[in-house]
Amino acid sequence: MKNIVLLGAPGAGKGTQAALIANEYNIPHISTGDIFRKNIKEGTELGKLAKSYIDAGQLVPDSLVIDLVADRLRQDDAKNGYILDGFPRTIAQAEALDKVADISVVIDIELPFETIIERLGGRLVCMCGETSHVSLLGDSKTCPKCGAEMYVREDDKPETVRARLEIYERQTAPLVEYYGKKGNMVTVDATVGTIEKVFEQVKKVLE
Ligand code: ADP
Ligand code: ZN
């Protein structure tokens, strides 16, 4: 059983790698970003609370995130391992996680900010969960997986991307030191290029 945490700046490819890991090892992919977006779409109370923060590129307050994740980890499908994507994002979240979970390994996906800005600048997403880039799809914007029209996330607009990277530096980057000290963190260099090459490295860590 493996309880995995993926760290990395927004746009470093956490979501993509998390989906591949979930599929390969047959464990649930728990993405707090996806949970919030689903709640926003469904118009739930949580969605309403989270939306203003997310659209502005800010973090949703710890108080709204921590219980949500603790509940999710208690569900049956998480008994045999899981991959956490986008949580923890603050030291307070990491400390709360330590109280309710035993994390086997933390994978920190590293990518320079310049590359991240290029990527997020053209990122397209689909309701089905697929992610792509304008440079791959051209004008069609048709989802390669389900055929729906892909769109730019509200928080992928340039000003918001800058805010997200600043917040990452200030609030999330300290987790690299936090987990580094615990000794269960491995860094994966995402400048190697393709999704497949990064995944090869990730699999080596998990074997
Ligand atoms: P990315 O990693 O590309 O920034 P996510 O889908 O993980 O995107 O998250 C999108 C937004 O959802 C974040 O910018 C933040 O506002 C909110 N969010 C997601 N996870 C957390 C978390 N653990 N704590 C606080 N806010 C979060
Ligand atoms: Zn799709």
Q: Is residue 170 flagged as an active site residue?
A: no
Helix 113-121 × helix 158-167 angle, to 10°: 140
**Closest-lying ligand 1 atom to the alpha carbon of residue 167:** 14
- Respond yes or no: is residue 37 known to be catalytic: no
Does the beta carbon of 87 lie inside 6 Å of ligand 1? yes
- Say what the pLDDT of residue 140 is: 86
Distance 92 CA to ligand 2 centre (A): 34
CB 174 within 8 A of CB 91: yes
User: Catalytic: which of 89, 170, 182, 197?
Assistant: 89
Q: Is 13 in the pocket of ligand 1 (CB under 6 A)?
A: no
Mean pLDDT per block of 10 residues along the chain (207 residues) reads 93 92 96 94 95 92 96 96 97 98 96 88 90 88 95 88 92 96 94 89 93
**Topology (CATH) of 2-27+80-112+172-206:** Rossmann fold (3.40.50)
Label residue 42 left, alpha or beta by phi (over 0 means left) and psi (-120 to 50 means alpha).
Answer: alpha
HSE-up of residue 83 (Cα within 13 Å, Cβ side)? 23
From 30, 31, 32, 159, give the residue whose CB has the most ligand 1 atoms within 8 Å, as the site to mutate.
32
pTM: 0.88
Residue nearest to atom 12 of ligand 1 (CA): 33
Contacts of residue 18, Cβ cutoff 8 Å, sequence gap at least 6: 6, 29, 31, 83, 85
